[in-house]
Amino acid sequence: MKTSANPHIHTSTQQIWNILQTIPDPEVPAISIVELGVVRNVEIKDADSIKVQITPTYSGCPALKTMEEDVKEKLRQHGFTNIEIETIYKPAWTTDWLSESTKQKLKDYGIAPPQKLTIEHLIPIGKKNVDPLACPFCESKNTALTSQFGSTACKALYFCHNCHQPFEHFKCH
């Protein structure tokens, strides 16, 4: 932990994490970019320099650029002038990084959260032996996949045959 002459500058990495925690995911604003697991590392270099490492959820996720800008803007507001954002690829992002409370936030927002990733989720052909997904609205497991690809790269489309509601699923990844 470093101290600074400028009282407006937050100096501990924990405080930085707390600041970044307030940045919502641009496409699923119910959770923050920290909860999503996109922010991987924070390194304060000196009083006004900071480096933040981020990792994409999906290679082509168009929200990554917005997240970068949001991080820069937020840190600028907290007195940092020299902000470096580095994109890293390893370890690859996985939905297993989402905590139980984050998954609950997704569910409350109307998105079926990801199940724990198993080898079955990652088999490319043939039948997948995975538990049926519960509808985030009525809890019924009488649901069916409409399409593996949804409104954003990270979501699939489902339909609930019990409450007749289409819903989105945050894919296991």
Partner 1 sequence: MTEQDALFEYCLRLGDNSLVLGHRLSEWCGHGPILEEDIALANMSLDLIGQARGFLGYAAKIKGEGSDDDLAFKRDARQFRNCMLVEHPNGDFAMTMVRSFFYSAIAYLHFKNLARTKDATISGLAEKSLKEVTYHLRHCSDWIIRLGDGTEESHERTQNALEELWNYTNELFETDEVDETLIKQNLAIDLKLLRKEWDDIINKVLEEATLKRPDDSRFMSKGGINGIHTEHLGFLLAEMQFLPRAYPDTKW
List contacts with partner 1 (CB under 8 A).
56, 58-62, 88-93, 122-126, 146-151, 153, 157, 171, 173
Determine the Cα–Cα distance for residues 43 and 49; give it in Å rounded to an integer: 9
Query: Least Å distance between CB 42 and partner 1?
Result: 20
| CA angle in degrees (0–180, nearest 5) for 29-171-60 | 70
Decide whether 9 or 154 has the Cβ nearer to partner 1. Answer: 154
Query: Least Å distance between CB 9 and partner 1?
Result: 32
Place of tokens 């933040």: 52
Decide whether 61 or 71 has the Cβ nearer to partner 1. Answer: 61
Query: Least Å distance between CB 62 and partner 1?
Result: 7
Inter-axis angle of helices 13-20 and 63-77, nearest 10: 130
If 0-12 CB within 10 Å is exposed, 13-18 middle and 19+ buried, where does residue 26 land? middle
Query: Least Å distance between CB 147 and partner 1?
Result: 4
Decide whether 14 or 148 has the Cβ nearer to partner 1. Answer: 148
Q: Which amino acid is at 11?
A: T
Decide whether 18 or 147 has the Cβ nearer to partner 1. Answer: 147
